[in-house]
Amino acid sequence: MLVLGIESSCDETGVAVYDTARGLLAHALHSQVDLHQCYGGVVPELASRDHIRRIVPLYREVLARAGVAASAIDAIGYTAGPGLAGALLVGTAFAEALALALGRPACPIHHLEGHLLSPLLADPAPRFPFVALLVSGGHSQIMSVTGVGRYTLLGETVDDAAGEAFDKTAKLLGLPYPGGPQLARLAQSGRPGRVRLPRPMLHSGDLDFSFSGLKTAVLTQVGRGLDGTAAADLAAEFQEAVVDVLVAKACAALKQTRLRELVVAGGVGANQRLRERLDAACARMGARAYYPPLELCTDNGAMIAFACALRMQAGQQIEARSEGFRVFPRWPLGELAPPG
Ligand code: KG4
Ligand code: ZN
């Protein structure tokens, strides 16, 4: 079965072709980083317009690279939410129109389900059941995953998402958008512990997180002035604080569920320090951490094509319920049927 995947929920247009027999055949991505950089964040209207410009050329490029004809596509998976409404509508309209033209099904896919299942594209791949640590720009959640479509929320952020905290802190440190990777780079030349930042909710006894206080603590430090290596030291300490909390909660989730496999997904999963610390912590517990291929950590079409393929194989396609099509800017992963 050949599945086309379309992602347009935020500032990346992603298109991919996944074959259930041969694996990922091709994927292409257009990042809007340059477009939004001067605004310090994503401007939704500009994002939507750019998706419109990019989506058809990307689709053509991916089919050519995969060496498949449009008529060979068996199904089209597209991100229907959560995300920016206008941006989601571009991918949704394209996918639904193409599906109509080809006489094939179009399947709405939950963006976080795409992230969550993407480590299964890696080699070696984890096996169900596993604990998933989902850390993106919009979400920070720990889930217990027992199979395709079987996701139980164990804990989540009570305020900012981990990626959001990275981005906001990077801005406070004067780094350009997108801040997460920039802050991680700056942290490499700094020393954690020179300034001490809090580890919010580290001992809360549950699997929830909070990151907004950390950002405020950074703001206080920035107010005192940053000279010499202070910015790099602060970046290193911030990263260490986030990583401390994420590692502790991920390990607590493994203990609580008695599972031995941890899957890490979402943009913050690209963070090298997080990976090192999770690998070490898992090894100490006789557990193992799995990550998507680095290029598939942040938003992409491959994870959407893949999630769609797994859902179809499991006979669990999500039906677009209404006439025409709709998007779901807010869509809890625990409620996988789209809101009626
Ligand atoms: O999953 P993603 O591409 O988009 C959402 O669904 O939100 O995640 C993007 C987030 C951004 O907040 C970005 O700053 C963060 O992931 N990110 C990182 C790194 N690479 C991306 N954060 C920390 N370290 C990184 N290396
Ligand atoms: Zn994402």
* 67 Cα to the center of ligand 2, angstroms: 27
Q: What is the pLDDT of residue 335?
A: 73
**Whole-prediction pTM:** 0.92
pLDDT at 79: 98
Question: For residues 129 and 146, is the Cβ–Cβ distance under 8 A?
Answer: yes
Q: Are residues 24 and 132 in the same domain?
A: no
Q: What is the pLDDT of residue 320?
A: 67
The ligand 1 atom at the shortest distance from the C-alpha of residue 161 is 12
Who's near 263: CB < 8 A, 6+ residues apart? 116, 119, 126, 130, 131, 132, 133, 145, 289, 290, 291
The range of the structural domain enclosing residue 148 comes to 128-291
- Ligand 1 site residues, Cβ closer than 6 angstroms: 10, 115, 136-138, 163-164, 166-167, 178-181, 184, 266-268, 270-271, 298-299
Indicate whether 37 and 85 sit together in one domain: yes
Q: For residue 183, how many C-alpha atoms fall within 13 Å in the half-sphere facing its CB?
A: 31
Instruction: Give the span between the Cα atoms of 176 and 171, in whole angstroms.
Output: 7
Q: Which of 110, 136, 240 to mutate to test the pocket of ligand 1 (most atoms within 8 A of CB)?
A: 136
- CATH number of the domain to which 9 belongs: 3.30.420.40
* Mutation probe of ligand 1 site: the residue of 11, 111, 268, 277 with most atoms within 8 A of C-beta: 268
User: Taking ligand 2, which is a single-atom ion, which protein residues have CB atoms under 5 Å away?
Assistant: 136, 299
Give which of 5, 276, 256 is closest to 264, Cα–Cα: 276
Q: Does residue 340 sit within a domain? A: no
Give me the pLDDT at residue 209, please.
96
* Ligand 1 center to 268 CA (angstroms): 5
Q: What is the pLDDT of residue 103?
A: 96
Q: Which two tokens stand for residue 203?
A: 């001992």
Q: Are residues 250 and 204 in the same domain?
A: yes
Tell me if 14 sits within 8 A of 91, measured CB to CB.
no
- Write down the pLDDT at residue 323: 66
Helix 162-172 and helix 179-187, axial crossing angle in degrees, nearest 10: 70
Q: How many CB atoms lie within 10 A of CB 118?
A: 24
Cis, bond preceding 178 (omega within 30 deg of 0): yes
What's the distance, CA 14 to chain centroid? 13
pLDDT value at residue 336: 75
- Give the 3-state secondary structure percentages of the chain, helix then strand then coil, rounded to 5: 45, 20, 35
334 Cα–ligand 1 center, Å? 22
pLDDT in tens for each of the 340 residues of the chain?
999 999 999 999 999 999 999 999 999 999 999 999 999 889 999 999 999 999 999 999 999 999 999 999 999 999 999 999 999 999 999 999 999 999 999 999 999 999 999 999 999 999 999 999 999 998 999 999 999 999 999 999 999 999 999 999 999 999 998 899 999 999 999 999 999 999 999 999 999 999 999 999 999 999 988 888 999 999 999 999 999 999 999 999 999 999 999 999 999 999 999 999 999 999 999 999 999 998 999 999 999 999 999 999 998 887 765 567 789 898 888 777 666 5
Do both 172 and 135 map to the same domain? Answer: yes
144 plus 272 within the same structural domain: yes
99: Cα separation from own chain's centroid: 26
Ligand nearest to the Cα of 7, by number: 2
* pLDDT for the residue numbered 228: 80
Number of domains in the chain: 2
pLDDT for res 60:
98
- The pLDDT value recorded for residue 196 is 95
| Burial 143-171, CB ≥16 within 10 A → b, else e | bbbeebbebeebbbbebbbbbbbbbbbbb
